[in-house]
Amino acid sequence: MKSAYRGKFYIVVSVDWEGRNIEADGIEHMVEFRKKNPHIPLQHFLNAAYYTRPDSDPQAVTLETRRVVLPGDVEGLHIHPWRRLVEASGVAVRNGPNIRGLEEPLREVDGDWAHEVPLHHYATSEIVRLINRSREILSAEGFCPATEFRSGAWLSGVSVTQALIETGFVLDCSAANRRFLAPRWDNSPLLDMLMELWPEVGDTTQPYVQTLADGKIWQAPNNACLADYTSAEQLEEVFERNLGAAAANKAPAWFMSTGFHQETAALYLDGLTDGLQRCQKIADKNDIDLLYAASPQSYLSMLQGAA
């Protein structure tokens, strides 16, 4: 039986660049993915921390990044408050809390640390400095000034949202479907933080507007999570659930967000590819108009046009 849904179904595939290191194997997996899937643009959440590390080779970082950031992609921004990036932004470094555990030490990576500190534990004015400095660094390397954002560990609290509004961002993609994280982050502070920030985000949650006293911003949930946590079978399951929700709501367009990390692409990108192929088979069988977009803004434009 063919699906009852006849609107446009968008899948956005994102890449979180953690700022830890540029992994050669991960880049090669991404290069092969791009060659085999030219119809899939990517939403990159780039990270300026690669350029502020003590051992950084800026030219090499840019060359490797440019191998997989292609025309038609989106160049967004991703921030984990690494010590060196924070200091380069003129902000005092915070050494906690740790999302892995309140008593856990922060991990050091090649002379840098504080990756596990929640960004929203910084003040709005400090986050504005981090954003501005990150944009300066990335722009100097030829990347586009970002207007789309994902917070490190999906932890985009009020101070982050306010900073995004103040710095002209139009879209935050930090809302997390935490159920996929539970098996590996059970009993960690991260799950409690995500529960507090995104209590109602699930498999079929669609983009919505977050409003603060001084403005508003679109929030596009990472409703299918990332391949590090979501298997091919689970991605297929989430796709089917979203098809059902789209049909039930008679929506003109529907949105699903998945993706992966640059640092772990060699481990998980093949699984994501399998999951996307499963979704395509379902779409073909049911005559679904399945589209890949580099940004949820394609979806938002349709919603606004229908309003």
Q: Among positive and negative, which fits the CA dihedral 42, 48, 49, 53? A: positive
* Residue 1 reports pLDDT greater than 80: no
* Residue 13 reports pLDDT greater than 50: yes
What is the Cα–Cα distance from 85 to 112, expressed in whole angstroms? 9
302: Cα within 13 Å, side-chain hemisphere: 15
Percent of the chain whose predicted confidence (pLDDT) is above 70: 97
Query: So what's the pLDDT on residue 102?
Result: 81
Query: So what's the pLDDT on residue 143?
Result: 98
Q: What is the mean pLDDT of residues 212-223?
A: 95
Class of residue 305 by CB neighbours under 10 A (exposed 0-12, middle 13-18, buried 19+): exposed
What is the Cα–Cα distance from 243 to 247, expressed in whole angstroms? 6
What is the Cα–Cα distance from 128 to 65, expressed in whole angstroms? 25
Which of 116, 274, 307 lies closest to 207 in space, CA to CA?
A: 307
Contact, 144 vs 43, CB < 8 A?
A: no
pLDDT digits (tens, 9 = 90+) for 151-186: 999 999 999 999 999 999 999 999 999 999 999 999
pLDDT band at 4; cut points 50, 70, 90: confident
* Residue 303 reports pLDDT greater than 70: no
Read off the amino acid at residue 262: Q
Place of tokens 């986050």: 127
Consecutive H or E run containing 183: helix 182-185
What is the Cα–Cα distance from 34 to 186, expressed in whole angstroms? 34
Class of residue 187 by CB neighbours under 10 A (exposed 0-12, middle 13-18, buried 19+): exposed
Query: So what's the pLDDT on residue 103?
Result: 85
Query: So what's the pLDDT on residue 3?
Result: 66
Read off the amino acid at residue 242: N
* Residue 307 reports pLDDT greater than 70: no
pLDDT band at 92; cut points 50, 70, 90: very high
* Residue 304 reports pLDDT greater than 70: no
pLDDT digits (tens, 9 = 90+) for 36-87: 999 999 999 999 999 999 999 999 999 999 999 999 999 999 999 999 999 9
Consecutive H or E run containing 79: strand 74-79
Q: What is the mean pLDDT of residues 276-291?
A: 96
Mean pLDDT, all residues of the chain: 95
> Mind giving me the DSSP string for 232-300?
HHHHHHHHHHHHHHHHHHT-SEEEEEEEEESTTHHHHHHHHHHHHHHHHHHHHHTT-EEEE-SSTHHHH
* Residue 229 reports pLDDT greater than 50: yes
Show the tokens assigned to 295.
Answer: 């940004």
Alpha helices of 37-157 — where are they, by DSSP H? Answer: 58-66, 83-88, 124-140
Residue 14 sits at φ, ψ, to 5 deg, of -105, 160
What is the Cα–Cα distance from 2 to 11, expressed in whole angstroms? 20
pLDDT band at 295; cut points 50, 70, 90: very high
Query: So what's the pLDDT on residue 306?
Result: 44
Query: So what's the pLDDT on residue 301?
Result: 74
pLDDT digits (tens, 9 = 90+) for 233-253: 999 999 999 999 999 999 999
Query: So what's the pLDDT on residue 286?
Result: 93
Place of tokens 């830890």: 20
pLDDT digits (tens, 9 = 90+) for 131-150: 999 999 999 999 999 999 99
Query: So what's the pLDDT on residue 152?
Result: 98
Give me the helix-helix angle, 265-285 and 232-249, nearest 10°.
40
